Amino acid sequence: DGDSYPVHRNQPNRRITVPVFLHPDYLPYLDGHDRGICRPLSTSPSTPAPAEPITLRLQLAVYICGIFSSGTSNLIWVIVPLWALKLDASPMWIGIALGSYTFMPLLLSIPGGALIDRIGARRMIWTFGSLVVCVSLLYPVMPWLIALVILQMIVGLSVSMAWISTQALIGQ
């Protein structure tokens, strides 16, 4: 059971038989039944679904979130060590302050994605975007190393969740 193909174009009489399940025009059933039995691919041309128009409001939300998530992390790598030096931090505490930015997203990105699916991407963008703005204003008000580490964790999580929400919104 299978098709016969020439081995090489210069040797048309030498042929190889390809089993049906290895033939490129066939795919296995995905439901798990009748293992080994294959079905041919559809020969009708597939037409993609018409794309929904992207509104200006959605574009602006995505661009603003992208600018703030990319720009915030770049600014943090410069400003936080300088702020920690002003607070007389040791090199170890500077490293802890910088590393704490990524600690909460490491732990909560997957549960945050489930929360985005449950609550909705738009609400999460507004919530975490507002949280980034509010918490960023607290840096000069709370001039302690522990506060710096905690604020870094909150800002890191907020930026990450806002960016994940933006990507989810684009995908919808």
% of the chain with per-residue pLDDT over 90: 28
Per-residue model confidence (pLDDT) at position 153? 95
Higher local confidence (pLDDT), 150 or 4: 150
**Average confidence (pLDDT) over 137-163:** 92
Which residues are CB-contacts of 16 (< 8 A; sequence separation ≥ 6)?
4, 5, 6, 7
Which residues are CB-contacts of 53 (< 8 A; sequence separation ≥ 6)?
none
| C-alpha to C-alpha distance for 148 and 141, rounded to whole angstroms | 10
| C-alpha to C-alpha distance for 126 and 166, rounded to whole angstroms | 10
Q: Please say whether the beta carbons of 164 and 125 come within 8 A.
A: no
Q: Please say whether the beta carbons of 116 and 164 come within 8 A.
A: yes
Average pLDDT in the chain: 76
Residue 7 above 70 pLDDT? Answer: no
**pLDDT (tens digit, 9 = 90+) per residue, 82-141?**
999 999 999 999 999 999 999 999 999 889 988 988 988 888 888 888 888 888 889 889
Per-residue model confidence (pLDDT) at position 100? 94
Residue 19 above 70 pLDDT? Answer: no
Q: Please say whether the beta carbons of 10 and 20 come within 8 A.
A: no
Which of these, 95, 52, 80, 102, lies nearest to 148 by C-alpha position?
80
